[in-house]
Amino acid sequence: MSDRFPRAVLFDLLTALLDSWTLWDAVAGSEAKGRAWRAEYLRLTYGNDAYVPYEQVVRDAARATGLAETIPQALDARWAELKPWDGVPAALAALRGRAKLAVVTNCSVRLGRIAAGVLNVDWDCVVTAEEAGYYKPNPQPYRMALARLGVAPAEAAFVAGSGYDLIGTSAVGLRTYWHNRVGLKRPHHAPPPDLESPTLDRLLPWLEGRPA
């Protein structure tokens, strides 16, 4: 880790910052159903590369896992109920004023804006897969965010939520902190992160180049 504080810190949104898992479980009717639905959604999202409507991917994943047609509609209706993980507001507050803050999310513009707004942060940049034309881990969403921020990859850091992000950030050259809150397995073809932690407690020391 560089001892120079990054000019920008970019975040995955729906897993690194927000507990979207609990909402999906609640809408699906149980944790088992929610996790199966979410796993299929992740598989479809990261397998699509070129953007297809996010809402369609959610519907396709629900159908593939045997959920009722009304379930994706219910998720959409409750999207603003997304909550941040414990520690997220404090971590973002500690970074405000020290670095530009951005979101790079596999989401539609509409739902991405709603979810980013839940955190009450004056984001310098919010990039969705819909805008980029590709889903992560394609490099394009990350590069679009960096371009909008006017920051080179070497001057930035990324906070991942999914291990798939590690594929994209390594391709772009972004040092990466994996906030692996739900204990996901790293995809076999994904490189290791610079640091992996189940919380954001180690993020600030890591960014400052101190022992984390």
- Determine the Cα–Cα distance for residues 196 and 17; give it in Å rounded to an integer: 15
Would you say the pTM of this structure is higher than 0.85?
yes
Query: What are the tens digits of pLDDT across the range 148-177?
Result: 999 999 999 999 999 999 999 999 999 999
Query: What are the tens digits of pLDDT across the range 69-96?
Result: 999 999 999 999 999 999 999 999 999 9
Helix (H, G, I), strand (E, B) or coil at 108: coil
Residue recorded with tokens 């369609």: 56
What class has domain 8-19+82-208?
alpha beta
Q: At 103, which helix (H) or strand (E)?
A: strand 100-105
> Domain locations in the chain?
8-19+82-208, 23-80
